Amino acid sequence: MALLGIAILILVIIIFLMIAYFVVRNIAQLVINAIIGLVTLFIVNFFHLMQYAGKPDIGFDWITIIICALAGLPGAILLIILSLVGITL
């Protein structure tokens, strides 16, 4: 009976570690996407590229960070296109 309890405990620990590994791996990917997207927006703002189209620089707020975190570079490009069209978030 004790051997069965130990086997179940080891199985639960292995399952927990696998779930933790996948969560940490996805969080790392989310952080990398956010950094790439925000660096892209920073470069666009630093060189004032939006002003060539007559638009203001893109601000950094929570919704911008969330879009860049979830979509990365395509999210930053989406924010740039939306800003060029006149839609601000």
Q: How many domains does the chain have?
A: 1
Domain that holds residue 71: 2-85
Q: What is the DSSP string of the chain?
A: -HHHHHHHHHHHHHHHHHHHHHHHHHHHHHHHHHHHHHHHHHHHHHTTGGGGGT-PPPP--HHHHHHHHHHSHHHHHHHHHHHHHT---
Give residue 1's pLDDT: 61
For helices 73-85 and 62-71, angle between their N-to-C axes, nearest 10 degrees? 130
pLDDT in tens, 3-51: 888 888 899 999 999 988 888 888 888 888 889 999 999 999 999 999 9
The predicted model gives 83-89 an average pLDDT of 87
Distance, CA of 47 to CA of 57 (rounded, Å): 10
The predicted model gives 67-77 an average pLDDT of 89
